Chain A
Amino acid sequence: MWEYTNQVMEHFERPRNVGVVARIDGEGQVGSLSCGDALRLTIQVDKDKDLIEDAKFQTFGCASAIASSSALTEMIKGRTLEQALSITNQDIADYLGGLPREKMHCSVLGQEALEAAVANYRGEKPKALEGQIICECFGVTDVEIERVVKTNRLTTVEEITQFTKAGGGCGKCVEKIEALLNKILKKTATPGNGQKPGGRLTTLKRIKLIEDAIANQIAPALMRDGGDIELVDVDGPTVYVTLKGTCASCPSSKRTLADFVTERLRALVDSDIVVRERRPE
């Protein structure tokens, strides 16, 4: 059973602001019946003050989806549009005392519905629909993924799935998500922002970082596909690894893998890293 907070259960059992507002000035519909959760948010706007006078929701989904929708309406009522738009999915989760990681996508659903409703009121195109579709199963775009990664400081594909559902269907897009994640992490990985330690790396620190990156990020990703990796040696910028499991015998997968390992190590440790494969003896 999920560990829901009392606030989640309270909002699920007694949801606030259910229905449709008296005068629909803006409307946002996100999710779909086939995806397993869907939210319709309607807002009534005081046009002079740019203020959300009333907000109501209708939600198809699990307890946390209903609670997130209910919380959202409470959070935006009486706020100006600008104030409302500054609400992130994390704010919605915080309002409910937190959500299980696997359910964070419910809070993202709320944020997207709000943006869609405001965009609809302003006659604009909703942000979430911009960009390229990465996950076809759940219709998630690169723009959505990038924002969620940045707002919530995500570092793994698994987290992206928990927050957006992307990659949680047929799984065909996992590689695309991985590549996108690497790109985003690289972009944000300037010294001092917590992604990569700033300043010059001592040899010891450098090896430790390489070990961590391989053990905690690269190996788990390979193991999902039946492969594995072992760190053999580090010599200056060159990192020697052995590829194992199902990937070890396939020349083409090896090349992609070497690229993948290089990219990850460069993003996580140092941009001048070179990866060499060493065959098991």
Chain B
Amino acid sequence: MRTIYFDNNATTAVDPQVLEAMLPFFQGLYGNPSSMHHKGGEVAAALRQARQQLADLLGCEPGEIIYTSCGTESDNTAMWSALRTQPDKKHLITSRVEHSAIINNAAFLRRLGYQVTEVGVDRDGLLNLSQLEKALTPDTALVSLLWANNETGVLFPVEDVARLCSEKGIVFHTDAVQAVGKIPINLKASKIDMLSLAGHKLHAPKGIGALYVRKGLKFAPFMIGGHQEGGRRGGTENTPYIVGLGVAARLAGERLPEENTRVKALRDRLEAGLLKIPYAMVNGHRTIRLPNTTNISFEYIEGESILFHLSHAGICASSGSACTSGSLEPSHVLRAMGVPFTAAHGSIRLSLGVTNTDDEVDEALKIFPEVVAKLRELSPFWKDDGPVQESELLSCEDNNCQICN
């Protein structure tokens, strides 16, 4: 059975060119870049090149990049740096659809006595900008927003918000883990103060991330240690992975046009085909969105069941249903958007990449209707070719359920 991998927002395959560039750093090029001898020197040179490659993709200076272990570490570093460098300010702003790295930090900070504003989104997943503007106060230390939503692909106007924050002297951070490599980014021309990224979303391996910190911004390290990364992140550099991320960044830059033409066309054709299935709907704005992602709900069936049947047929995808989230409630992103529960439980995210082909889309368009039909046949909410109108199970017993209300 062949694999059709439509889960590139979860992670991507390491590009063969990336792996090839990394391998020598496990063997001959094992030096510590800090060492004052030629074994250290040759590695230090490779790191300089890798840092330049990543800086080119982001449109920033190499010295503005701090390597981390993952996107979550980058997010943590950014958040805590902003708060620790402005100890008098006790307010931060984020949104209701952030990554768990930000959400759970925000919850923790609240318990420590910080005030946190979580800005809402509309039915399309777009940021409520006026709510954000009103929330900015002289006490606000930080605004942190996702650039591209991992579940829906919807984009936030981070450059506009960054400008607004800059005018008011508020630090602005964006988690751009899903955006880097998929949309053009030029940090020189923006007012973004900090930006998080993760290597494994752009064909580098898991275990390497980076944080952009605008030159001149006050910074407090998260990992206290040696002089590495200009004293901003202690710990001997993860040299093979940094080199890998450099090559991945170069490839991402080269492939950016393809991502926004060919991959986008594949996504659009897949989405249009899937919308022919009755009671299917797209979650998230159709144009203000990443070129590779679609989030579609198939009503009256449940996401995990869909995923298992898809997987059986070779298709890898993910879902915002409760059963797959590890919690008992469906995705917080879909809930924040007000997607009805009937649809949220049956939501499927398909995220494409440069390795996907037309054939794979054709194949998926054959498999999906069969899977959906099979599960609807089992569903107590479905009869013949439509939903059962009068089902007691459609609503809660007492209509008092907090999830729906």
Give residues in A with beta carbon < 8 Å to B. Answer: 9, 12-13, 15, 18, 29, 31-40, 58-63, 65-66, 102-103, 129, 133, 136-139, 161, 165, 168-170, 172, 226, 246
Chain A residue numbers with a CB within 8 Å of B400 are: 133, 136, 139
Stretch from B38-46, B181-189, B304-312, B352-360 forming part of the interface with A:
B304-312
- Please pick, from B300, B304, B324, B404, the residue contacting A34 in the complex, using a CB distance under 8 A: B404
Establish whether residues B312 and A169, one from each chain, have CB atoms under 8 Å apart when the complex forms.
Answer: no
Chain A residue numbers with a CB within 8 Å of B322 are: 36
* B137 in contact (CB, < 8 A): no
Establish whether residues A102 and B326, one from each chain, have CB atoms under 8 Å apart when the complex forms.
Answer: yes
Docked complex Cα distance between A168 and B342 (Å):
18
Please list 17 pairs of residues, one from A and one from B, whose beta carbons are closer than 8 Å in the complex, sorted by A's number. Answer: A29-B380, A29-B392, A31-B393, A32-B394, A33-B381, A34-B396, A34-B404, A36-B321, A40-B380, A58-B379, A60-B301, A60-B378, A60-B380, A60-B393, A63-B305, A66-B305, A103-B323
Interface residues of B in 34-68 (CB under 8 A from A): none
Using CB atoms, name the residue of chain A closest to B393: A38
Establish whether residues A63 and B396, one from each chain, have CB atoms under 8 Å apart when the complex forms.
Answer: no
Docked complex Cα distance between A65 and B308 (Å):
13
Establish whether residues A62 and B312, one from each chain, have CB atoms under 8 Å apart when the complex forms.
Answer: no
- Please pick, from B300, B302, B327, B377, the residue contacting A62 in the complex, using a CB distance under 8 A: B302
Establish whether residues B328 and A138, one from each chain, have CB atoms under 8 Å apart when the complex forms.
Answer: yes
| Residue from A37, A61, A66 having most chain B Cβ neighbours under 10 A | A61
Using CB atoms, name the residue of chain A closest to B376: A60
Give residues in B with beta carbon < 8 Å to A. Answer: 108, 111, 300-305, 308-309, 312, 321-324, 326-330, 341-342, 345, 377-381, 392-398, 400-404
Establish whether residues A35 and B326, one from each chain, have CB atoms under 8 Å apart when the complex forms.
Answer: no
Using CB atoms, name the residue of chain A closest to B311: A1
- Please pick, from B111, B324, B393, B402, the residue contacting A169 in the complex, using a CB distance under 8 A: B402
- Please pick, from A18, A58, A139, the residue contacting B397 in the complex, using a CB distance under 8 A: A139
Docked complex Cα distance between A37 and B341 (Å):
11
Docked complex Cα distance between A118 and B375 (Å):
26
Establish whether residues A168 and B329, one from each chain, have CB atoms under 8 Å apart when the complex forms.
Answer: yes
Docked complex Cα distance between A137 and B108 (Å):
24
Known: A13-B312, A34-B403. A60 touches B300 (CB 8 A): yes
Docked complex Cα distance between A246 and B330 (Å):
29
Chain A residue numbers with a CB within 8 Å of B301 are: 60
How many cross-chain pairs have Cβ atoms below 8 Å apart between A and B? 117
The 6 A-B residue pairs with the shortest CB-CB distance in the complex, in nearest-first order: A168-B328, A62-B323, A58-B380, A62-B304, A40-B380, A34-B341
Rounded to whole Å, the gap between the CB of B167 and the closest CB of chain A is: 35
Docked complex Cα distance between A168 and B323 (Å):
12
Rounded to whole Å, the gap between the CB of B281 and the closest CB of chain A is: 16
Docked complex Cα distance between A35 and B301 (Å):
12
Docked complex Cα distance between A46 and B379 (Å):
27
Docked complex Cα distance between A63 and B301 (Å):
11
Docked complex Cα distance between A36 and B334 (Å):
14
Rounded to whole Å, the gap between the CB of B7 and the closest CB of chain A is: 12
Establish whether residues A63 and B328, one from each chain, have CB atoms under 8 Å apart when the complex forms.
Answer: no
Rounded to whole Å, the gap between the CB of A172 and the closest CB of chain B is: 8
Chain B residue numbers with a CB within 8 Å of A29 are: 380, 392-393
Chain B residue numbers with a CB within 8 Å of A15 are: 378
Known: A29-B392, A32-B395. A60 touches B401 (CB 8 A): no
Establish whether residues A33 and B305, one from each chain, have CB atoms under 8 Å apart when the complex forms.
Answer: no
Chain A residue numbers with a CB within 8 Å of B379 are: 58-60
Establish whether residues B396 and A58, one from each chain, have CB atoms under 8 Å apart when the complex forms.
Answer: no
Rounded to whole Å, the gap between the CB of A144 and the closest CB of chain B is: 13
Using CB atoms, name the residue of chain B closest to A2: B304
| Residue from A13, A36, A63, A66 having most chain B Cβ neighbours under 10 A | A36
Known: A60-B380, A139-B401. A33 touches B329 (CB 8 A): no
Establish whether residues A137 and B397, one from each chain, have CB atoms under 8 Å apart when the complex forms.
Answer: no
Docked complex Cα distance between A4 and B380 (Å):
24
Establish whether residues A36 and B323, one from each chain, have CB atoms under 8 Å apart when the complex forms.
Answer: yes
Establish whether residues B327 and A33, one from each chain, have CB atoms under 8 Å apart when the complex forms.
Answer: no
Docked complex Cα distance between A35 and B300 (Å):
12
- Please pick, from A9, A102, A169, the residue contacting B403 in the complex, using a CB distance under 8 A: A169
Rounded to whole Å, the gap between the CB of B185 and the closest CB of chain A is: 33
Establish whether residues B308 and A136, one from each chain, have CB atoms under 8 Å apart when the complex forms.
Answer: no
Establish whether residues A66 and B378, one from each chain, have CB atoms under 8 Å apart when the complex forms.
Answer: yes
Chain B residue numbers with a CB within 8 Å of A137 are: 401-403
Docked complex Cα distance between A39 and B394 (Å):
11
Docked complex Cα distance between A9 and B302 (Å):
16
Establish whether residues B403 and A35, one from each chain, have CB atoms under 8 Å apart when the complex forms.
Answer: yes
Using CB atoms, name the residue of chain B closest to A103: B323
Chain A residue numbers with a CB within 8 Å of B108 are: 226
Establish whether residues A33 and B341, one from each chain, have CB atoms under 8 Å apart when the complex forms.
Answer: yes
Establish whether residues B396 and A139, one from each chain, have CB atoms under 8 Å apart when the complex forms.
Answer: yes
Using CB atoms, name the residue of chain A closest to B341: A34
Establish whether residues A60 and B381, one from each chain, have CB atoms under 8 Å apart when the complex forms.
Answer: yes
- Please pick, from A12, A38, A226, the residue contacting B380 in the complex, using a CB distance under 8 A: A38
Known: A18-B378, A61-B323, A62-B305. A33 touches B342 (CB 8 A): yes
